[in-house]
Amino acid sequence: MSKPTLRTREQFKFFFNIQTRWADNDIYGHVNNVTYYSYFDTAANSLLIQKTGFDIHNSEIIGLVVDSACSFLQELSFPEIIEVGVAIGKIGNSSLRYELAIFKQHQIQAAAQGHFVHVFVDRENRKSTAIPQNMREVLNQYLLIEK
């Protein structure tokens, strides 16, 4: 397995701050690995809600996670405020790949990084549907900045 290309803060235009919680720590005193995926999910959906106006409760389409991965590079623990960088890696017809990185405050290198893929489907029949053009235009502004 090859090492991932390390992400830096300058590659992201959208950041979402999250306060780690006491319950995030595991018995070893650091944030449990599954919690990183929760941070990714929260930050990716925050980008959609804040920047595209996506209405998670009433939209005719919803995004379902079909793929995700995370590489753990440094420990996180409670109490810390982390900054989750979100960028768009690829926009397909009905899918959206987010590139994500978790940064400790004021750090340039990611403490963890990964990706998350949404496939957009009709809320009622769960059939894949094209990402709306207005959402596409906004998300193009958040493409991952390659070094």
Model confidence pLDDT, tens digit, residues 54-81: 999 999 999 999 999 999 999 999 999 9
H runs (alpha helix) in 1-147: 33-47, 133-139
Is 147 among the domain residues?
Answer: no
Is 29 among the domain residues?
Answer: yes
Q: Structural domain tally of the chain?
A: 1
Provide the pLDDT for residue 135: 96
Is 125 among the domain residues?
Answer: yes
**CATH code at 76?**
3.10.129.10
What predicted TM-score, i.e. pTM, was given to this entire model? 0.93
Provide the pLDDT for residue 1: 63
Q: Please, which residues have CB within 8 angstroms of residue 34's CB and are 6 or more apart in sequence?
A: none
Provide the pLDDT for residue 3: 72
Alpha-carbon distance of 33 to 143, in angstroms, equals: 26
Is 4 among the domain residues?
Answer: no
Is 146 among the domain residues?
Answer: no
Q: Which residues of the chain have pLDDT under 70?
A: 1-2
Sheet containing strand 95-104, strands side by side: 14-19, 81-91, 95-104, 112-122, 61-72
Q: Which domain holds residue 17?
A: 9-141
Is 3 among the domain residues?
Answer: no
For 24, phi then psi, to 5°, come to -70, -30
Instruction: Give how far the C-alpha of residue 117 lies from the chain's centroid of Cα atoms, to the nearest Å.
Output: 9
